[in-house]
Structure 1
């Protein structure tokens, strides 16, 4: 395989967005990921990726079997009394060209890291593997010079800096330059999240509920419950990792919690408190599973106003650093995948250091309008508390042409997303 002779690329953060971006750019450039964590241990539970993201992953050599993915086959939407409001069998392959898939977050991240760092010949691609520097904290960024400053005081020079460093991004204030946009804000809603092994549910409850069992075609049922009493409570339940685990996400407003403070992905949650917030009026078939929960995390959901730009100089924001949103549309991971695919603009012939700012402006012209609209859809879905509202934005969310075709449309003055 031909070693890259292209740009020196520094990626801040080796999470989902950063790792997959490294996979794209490694084909033509020298890529280094600077990750604050000391190892690849992943925090989080399960997530889903929509058809737009799945099509991109398939083009990058992603191994669905290795990642333990399972496709959505049925969506059931209930109100908080347990009344079925909407039921829809899902065939996104026919409608949108790919499946809608669920993953355990750590399995997905491990596969992204494999694609970023595995031997090029093994992957059948050009270029050299990306390097990862673990336990490395970036404290400052110089966008024009293309310089990172580490907590050790060391300076790293790069032709392109990709900031995939999450909701507390060190690069966002530098890029937007406006205090109103420099930080994310608490959405007013938090989520208890946990996983239960399907075998444990079977053993402790004496049976395995039908919604956790495989449907024909090895597909799964996505179950959602929405409060209609104005309390903004809700539950999202679905299996992952080849049906070995069931993921639970339980939404509550911050003012109903005993401890109302900033909570990260890994903050502990209290089972008794969680059960008390749902047991009075949510159906027993849902609440009974909450009583089995262990290792519960309480996650404060953050939101970000759509930014005026994702890029300045040699720096570009991606993932939660660019477009933090709550999980009410399940679009966070999909947008991270779409972000990563956007760096195919840097694989075109003739890419040089001098041309980086111009390419980033092209990237911004496609990715920012797209992700910003998804943010607005997510806010609307959070406010709409009718079961049927959950799928209101399905067609837009699951339709995207990719960066190359998208840029052609933008430059021609056409709509980016065309149904």
Structure 2
């Protein structure tokens, strides 16, 4: 099965929405799709799988996007979502009550943990009401999990420390009093392990050369190296991009939480290394080793879709034009290959592509990328038409229709769009 559909807007540029269309025709189409998809979701709330409370494939992810919709009272009225929101409010309390700490010592990532994900949702649901018992209890339960970040676990987003750190940043953004020292200790642990692995590889002759396939043009070994299940993934879900993007976000929001000198000596040099691994097509390989010479995956978890936002944030931090050029090249590749046959979800679907294009628009002001994102939104609005198979978790945030709802919602205010949790 092909991984992407031929982009019909490349064959027929006249069909590409104009900037005016974004705020009229495209908006109307998005609102109509949100109404239909939320109705579909509401009709299936009774069949939710309560064994999966995660944000990635489980109930917490569905609640995450639903809470974002709830905050837009005008949209709730326009889409007639009152009954749906009442159901969501009930589920928020229930998912927090059912949180499961049985695997907490090995996994605290808000993406896949059945404990931290419900805690995050409970806290975010009440972030405007600091006297809420549920909100403060959920926040307290979440931050108490920081001690487990010192245990042996991966550093990546889906199952590791970065997934927990992303939740802390979300809570801080929501106004909760996250202690800077907590973030500092977690960041310090991530950097220490990344530095140790890089030094270990550097001491063993031929190890790095094998990872970069003995390419004469390969960049030198970076000061940080990360792996998951013995593979050096480059993308957002399991690899360098998700880790580095979150560390740069810490720098922007809480610069004193980074160890002194780590930005200039560790984080940015590793980001530059990743930038230089970009392929001629504008994409990135999924990992080092044999995959370095393959150009197959173009999605949020593996490929340009999850790496372009990192290039943009690095450009914002440094002003280095090489990052901006890299991001534009990546976005142009996404535009060509980003209408994915796996559907319209976030992780390996077209909604993820749309978010990447929106991020380039937000950072450059170039309306070309806004109209590209709008075209992807029109594609995703026909949600049940544009997929070759049904996702394993068809209602979920990262695999299913909740991710499409999130993207369509953000297209209503494209200047404020944010990819969920890692953005």
TM-score by length of structure 1 reads 0.25
Kindly indicate which of the two structures has a greater share of residues assigned to helix: 2
Kindly indicate which of the two structures has a greater share of residues assigned to strand: 1
TM-score by length of structure 2 reads 0.25
Determine which structure has greater relative contact order: mean sequence separation of CA pairs < 8 Å that are 6+ residues apart, divided by chain length: 1
